[in-house]
């Protein structure tokens, strides 16, 4: 997970997280340019409250991830999980204009 964060999240970004021990190492990531802590952290301690007085929570991403996982077949070998996730994200983003968006996507495919 650390490699993905370093690759796709800009230093200085705010990361919202819960207090799960798996996230402890994220705090040790440094900005390669300055050597300072790379990210700003906002934490929701679920043992105390699910939404902090500042409005910090992880419910949105947890719900999104649950929805994405439902579209990954569990018993299929040689499946491209990236493709499954990208399709789900695309469908979710274009759900109100599905057919128009699909036609535009087909029009823009270059071989």
- Taking alpha carbons only, the member of 44, 92, 50 closest to residue 68 is 92
Helix (H) or strand (E) holding 93: helix 81-93
What's the pLDDT tens digit per position in 71-98?
777 666 667 777 777 888 888 889 899 9
Phi then psi for residue 41, to 5 deg, are -110, 135
Distance in angstroms (rounded) separating the CA atoms of residues 74 and 81 = 10
pTM: 0.56
What's the pLDDT tens digit per position in 37-72?
788 888 888 788 878 888 888 888 888 878 777 777
- Taking alpha carbons only, the member of 67, 101, 96, 97 closest to residue 84 is 67
pLDDT at residue 77, rounded to an integer: 62
* Kind of pairing between the strands at 40-44 and 14-18: parallel
pLDDT at residue 78, rounded to an integer: 67
């Amino acid at each position: 997970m650390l490699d993905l964060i370093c690759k796709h999240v800009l230093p200085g970004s705010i990361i919202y997280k819960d207090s799960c021990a798996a996230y402890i190492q994220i705090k040790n990531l440094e900005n390669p340019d300055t050597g300072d802590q790379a990210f700003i952290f906002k934490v929701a301690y679920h043992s105390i409250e699910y939404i902090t007085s500042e409005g910090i929570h992880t419910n949105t991403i947890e719900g999104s991830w649950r929805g994405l996982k439902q579209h990954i077949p569990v018993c299929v070998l040689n499946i491209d999980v990236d493709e499954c996730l990208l399709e789900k994200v695309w469908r979710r983003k274009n759900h109100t204009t599905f057919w128009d968006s699909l036609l535009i996507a087909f029009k823009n495919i270059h071989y």
